[in-house]
A and B are shown apart, each in its own frame.
Chain A
Amino acid sequence: MNCHEVRELIPAAIDGELDKGVTPRVSEHLTECPKCLAEFELERATKSFVKRRLKSLPTPEHLREKIKTQLSHETIGERDHTSPVVRSPRIPSWRMMLALGGGVAIILLLLAITPTKSRHSHSQPDDDNVIHQTYNNFDGILDGKISPQIVSDDPIAVNTFLETRANFRVNIPRMKEYKLIGGVFSQYKGQNIAHLIYKHNRDCIYLYQVKLQDLFAGKALQLPREATDELLRTGWYFENHMPDCSLIVWFADSTVCCAVADITRDKLLAYVKGDQ
């Protein structure tokens, strides 16, 4: 073994992580090479110094209790969430969002959604109407003009990305064979909107989500009167732009969700309810 190979293995030798096969060769080299031995001893000394000085601390009891109490008010899964978001997040800059990485691949534009088969347009007036915005965004997605800011099929990663920015509890429903592919956060006249994109083959379900309070305050975003009435009466509102294009609005916890897809109403309903 030469010095270079041994240097690479020094941490393993210090941490007791050397493979049995190489151990004799490493120790042989260390006895013969004072430079590598010094390197080994320095690194070992650094480790033991840090270990001695920075102890692993126990979690403060009040934090532990606080978390347990909070959990007892929570529910598991994506249903019936009523508790508020714990703290107000700091909305980070766009630049920072671009710098995100880690376990989640953020691939802007690269993973633009490929346009689907030739199709009709859903185009609607560009105004405050949530339903119009949903159709227009859906077009944007199908045309590849809107791409996810976070590309991930991990609902926790997408949820964290969106909730950190949106400051409301974002629902990520499961849509059976439609796979979550990512999300977008945006603002419209100061109101936060979370968008989810699901795909199955070349078909797409798009979900627009906004805080119920924001919507009903009516400061910027609006729901048409008939949709609001229907929602309050039954919890659901349906629209068929074309026979094979459906839009559904419903209440989910503290948000209003608006989903659209080029499939029949019954199919879309089954997907958003996740019970088929």
Chain B
Amino acid sequence: MTAHNTSLTDRSDTRTKHKEFEQEAIQHMDILYNYALRMTSNTDDAHDLVQETYLKAYRFWDKYEKGTNIRAWLFRIMKNSYINRYRKESKEPETVDYNDIQNFYNTIRYESSDPNDLQEKIFGGLLDDDVARAVESLPEEFRTVVILCDIEGLSYEEIAEFVDCPIGTVRSRLHRGRKMLRAKLFSYAKQHGYVSRALKD
């Protein structure tokens, strides 16, 4: 009388679904893993988050609408788990001193014509950990678009689908996110003394 009797057809149905899930969902693990890593700043938490996402996606696989963007679907499940588990109080953007960095660039603009060159001089000494820390310090919505665009190389269209907002919003968040990131990197470089060194060179 109950749903607990699994018939043979149910079992083969399960096998088909399992195969389908493996083929469609498993291949997108890297992007989820990287996002989890940058959001939680912690390998163990990232592992848990990816695991939870896949288990949930599998359980609710019959809710996935075929033909829609599966990466976006998985991403939203992960975002949801992340929000429920890890998000502390919603973080206000840290106040960053844009004047500091702006003044600096204004003074040196005449001396160095290539910002790439200059940025490399100042930021080049930073460790990868510093860079990761700077990205992780960004408020969530800005961090998300910077990770998806600059590290994962997604298109605006796909990012918009992931975060469920218009393309224009993705663009402006990127603009602001990168600006905050630059200021953050600059302040780290300043702490390490790279800024004054770059000026002397």
Contacts and interface: CB of A to CB of B under 8 A. Distances in A.
Contact of B182 (A46, A48, A86, A160): A46
B63 A66 contact: no
Contact of A8 (B30, B123, B175): B175
B54 A102 contact: no
Contacts of B155: 17
A79 B3 contact: yes
A42 B51 contact: no
B164 interface: yes
A201 interface: no
Given A45-B119, A67-B54, A71-B58, A51 B150 contact: yes
B193 interface: no
Interface in B31-68: 31, 33-34, 37-38, 47-48, 50-52, 54-56, 58-63
B4 A86 contact: no
B3 A50 contact: no
Contacts of A42: 105, 115, 119, 182
B151 to A, nearest CB: 5
B132 A12 contact: no
Interface string B13-39: 010011001100010011101100110
Nearest to B147: A54
Contacts of B123: 49
Given A42-B105, A54-B128, A59-B30, A235 B62 contact: no
Contacts of A10: 175
A86 B55 contact: yes
A15 B152 CA distance: 12
A93 to B, nearest CB: 9
A50 B146 contact: yes
Contacts of B33: 57-60, 63
Nearest to B33: A59
A88 to B, nearest CB: 11
B90 A99 contact: yes
Given A54-B128, A159-B60, A15 B90 contact: no
B26 A68 contact: yes
Contacts, number: 196
A235 B1 contact: yes
B156 A17 contact: yes
A117 interface: no
A77 interface: yes
A101 interface: yes
A72 B87 contact: no
A48 B47 CA distance: 28
Contacts of A87: 48, 52
A49 B56 contact: no
A9 B48 CA distance: 38
A219 interface: no
B89 interface: yes
A56 B120 contact: no
A38 interface: yes
Given A77-B61, A160-B81, 9 more contacts: A17-B156, A54-B135, A59-B30, A63-B47, A64-B29, A96-B87, A96-B88, A155-B63, A160-B77
Interface of A: 7-12, 15, 17, 38, 41-51, 53-60, 63-64, 66-68, 70-72, 74-81, 86-87, 89-90, 92, 95-96, 99-104, 155-157, 159-161, 164-165, 234-236, 250, 273
6 contacts: A38-B105, A59-B30, A103-B79, A155-B60, A159-B56, A250-B2
